[in-house]
Structure 1
Amino acid sequence: MISDTELDALRLSGEKVRVVRDELESNDVTGIVVAWDEAQVLIRRQNRRVVKLDRRYHYQLFSEPRQSVLGE
């Protein structure tokens, strides 16, 4: 699970993140971190829609190569 300090750093930097939900790259969600609580994170996508995602997913910078979920 991603920590509050990591989420805060991502929100303040405004960097685009990739949320890896499973092995299929087409199911990834990309956007910027807007807000979060104990269980969920709000991500604003490029089309300005907001998506609510579970904090247990794998969050990484979009500029970095995609990491597999099973590789952890």
Structure 2
Amino acid sequence: MINDEQLNEYRLSGILVRVIRDRDEKNDVKGIVVAWNDESVMIRRRNRKIVKLSRDYIYQPYEDQRAGDGNEK
């Protein structure tokens, strides 16, 4: 689970994040952190829609290599 300090850093910097929900890269969510609570994070996507996602997913800067990428495919 991502901590509050990391989420706040992403929000303040306005950095584009990748939310990895499963092994399939097509299911990743890309956007900007706008808010969170104890259970979920709200991400603003490029089309300006807000999605509410679990904090249990993997959150990382979009420019970083996708976590879990390797020879698993």
- TM-score (norm. length: structure 2): 0.92
Unaligned ranges ≥5, structure 1: none
Q: Which residue pairs with 1:46 in the alignment?
A: 46
Question: In structure 1, how many angstroms separate the alpha carbons of the residues matched to 2:68 and 2:42?
Answer: 22
Residue identity over aligned pairs, in percent, reads 54
* One-letter amino acid of the structure 1 residue matched with residue 66 of structure 2: R
Q: How far did 1:17 drift?
A: 0.1
The structure whose Rg is larger is 2
Aligned residues: 70
Q: Which residue pairs with 2:65 in the alignment?
A: 65
* One-letter amino acid of the structure 2 residue matched with residue 41 of structure 1: V
Counterpart mapping for 1:15-26 below 5 A: 15-26=15-26
- TM-score (norm. length: structure 1): 0.94
Structure 1 vs Structure 2 CA RMSD:
1.4
Q: How far did 1:68 drift?
A: 1.5
Unaligned ranges ≥5, structure 2: none
Give SS of 1:9's match. Answer: helix
Segments of 4+ moved more than 3 angstroms:
none
